[in-house]
A and B are shown apart, each in its own frame.
Chain A
């Protein structure tokens, strides 16, 4: 009997934990707003993000003949593929994949890694914001 109660308590705690996890997830617009604040701080002349600039940045080749599109393809609503390992990468556009840009720590982790690989430097808040603004305009 005591064991049954324990199991119930465990299940309840696990479910409550999972629910509060999803409840505290961010929206892409919240993630973008945080990057906008960074952009304003790093550049007093900041004039907003541009989807066109983001699209160019996404498709253009940077250092090492690599672009974002090298792995994520020219269509961010499509499934991509890791250029080296061939592992499938889920779509980047939130319209096609609702998980995208819902967690600031994850967004920052991947910008840090991928900007280092593709540009051999960190991306500016302006560049990150332009890219997310572009990805938010892509229809599935």
Chain B
């Protein structure tokens, strides 16, 4: 039902070739300027996670957080975002492999929202309240409202445009 056998082989070939090209990019991460560093990518992660919001870069949450997110996709911040088991397995492995570190909460429970990490709060402390309340921004999860190249993984200062 989920997989048409005629489609699987060509799809596998295409995914294999695309991931091959992206793996070389994934190794080039630069710790000093992670906003501009080429981000780790995975085709399935991009399409699935990117269908309702920007596909958030895996390095923005630690592995325990991603495990918690992936185990609750049927109730994902109030929406059903469930995946078929094969897709969940591939995306889960990608998130684990590229997860960030040192961002666990003081309570010891995994942080589920990137916006609650110390890193996010620090990076955005100059953003005034009116920007967050702007209907064009609507949600702090709407990275692309200001980070014009968020879709392609570029969160660098130069691509930021605060909407009026």
Contact code string B60-103 (vs A, CB < 8 Å = 1, else 0)? 00000000000000100111111010000000000000000000
Contact, CB under 8 Å: A24 / B80: no
- Among residues of A, the one whose C-beta sits closest to the C-beta of B76 is A113
B10: A residues at CB distance < 8 A: 16-18, 20-21, 24
- Among residues of A, the one whose C-beta sits closest to the C-beta of B6 is A24
Which residues in window 100-115 of A have CB below 8 A to B? Answer: 104-105, 108-109, 112-114
- A56 CB → nearest B CB, Å: 23
Among candidates A13, A24, A86, A113, residue contacting B145 with C-beta atoms closer than 8 Å: A86
Contact, CB under 8 Å: A87 / B53: yes
- Chain B interface residue count, CB cutoff 8 Å, equals 31
- Chain A interface residue count, CB cutoff 8 Å, equals 23
Contact of B124 with A by CB under 8 A: no
- A126 CB → nearest B CB, Å: 19
Contact, CB under 8 Å: B1 / A85: no
- Told that A17-B11, A104-B4, A116-B80 touch, could you supply 16 new A-B pairs with CB distance under 8 A? A14-B17, A17-B10, A17-B17, A24-B4, A82-B52, A84-B139, A85-B52, A86-B142, A86-B145, A87-B51, A105-B4, A108-B2, A109-B84, A113-B80, A113-B82, A117-B80
Which A positions have Cβ atoms within 8 angstroms of B? 10, 13-14, 16-18, 20-21, 24, 82, 84-87, 104-105, 108-109, 112-114, 116-117
Shortest Cβ-Cβ A-B pairs, 5 listed: A17-B10, A116-B80, A86-B138, A17-B13, A113-B80
